[in-house]
Amino acid sequence: MDRQVESILQGGQFKKLLDEQSAELRRKYDLKKAELEILYFLSRCGEHNTSTDIHYQLMMNKGHISQAVDSLCRRNFIMAIPDKEDRRYIHYEILDSAQEIVGEMAKRREETNRKIFEGISEEELKVFAEVSAKIRNNIKKLT
């Protein structure tokens, strides 16, 4: 496999870029990396907003998730809502007090994505999305 493709799949450079991108926000709002990532995830996940969903999508340690959501609840950034049908599940919703943070994070991510995909045509992006989906499905089959 091409070293560049393998490097992208492993995500090291991209992860480092996202860490650098969010460092200022983490300092500004006194948030840990996991807390900021969870806030951003919850802003985009719709009804897939349980700890299990966070674990599956962000590949975060369950202990870090638990600590982060507890902290975010205490700081009134998110609210924990028991599932109506199965009390074992807790859903998390972002509160208005976190909207500014989420908005700033979204702007930074959009700007980063714009720069990452600079010079790439819509057709190339479409092919990339299709190939990425196939890779994701293949990885899912292996796990």
Q: What is the DSSP string of 36-56?
A: HHHHHHHHH-TT--SHHHHHH
Q: How confident is the model at residue 142 (pLDDT cuts 50, 70, 90)?
A: confident
Q: What is the DSSP string of 54-70?
A: HHHHH---HHHHHHHHH
Res 14 pLDDT > 60: yes
Cα separation, 128 vs 8, in Å, equals: 12
Check residues 81 and 57 and name the one with the higher pLDDT.
81
Domain-wise residue ranges, the chain: 3-142
Tokens of residue 112, six digits: 């980063």
For residue 135, the model assigns a pLDDT of 86
Tokens of residue 26, six digits: 């983490």
Tokens of residue 141, six digits: 């089959």
For residue 87, the model assigns a pLDDT of 84
Res 9 pLDDT > 60: no
Fold of 3-142: Arc Repressor Mutant, subunit A (1.10.10)
Cα separation, 26 vs 56, in Å, equals: 23
For residue 3, the model assigns a pLDDT of 61
Cα separation, 139 vs 133, in Å, equals: 10
pTM over 0.95: no
For residue 7, the model assigns a pLDDT of 60
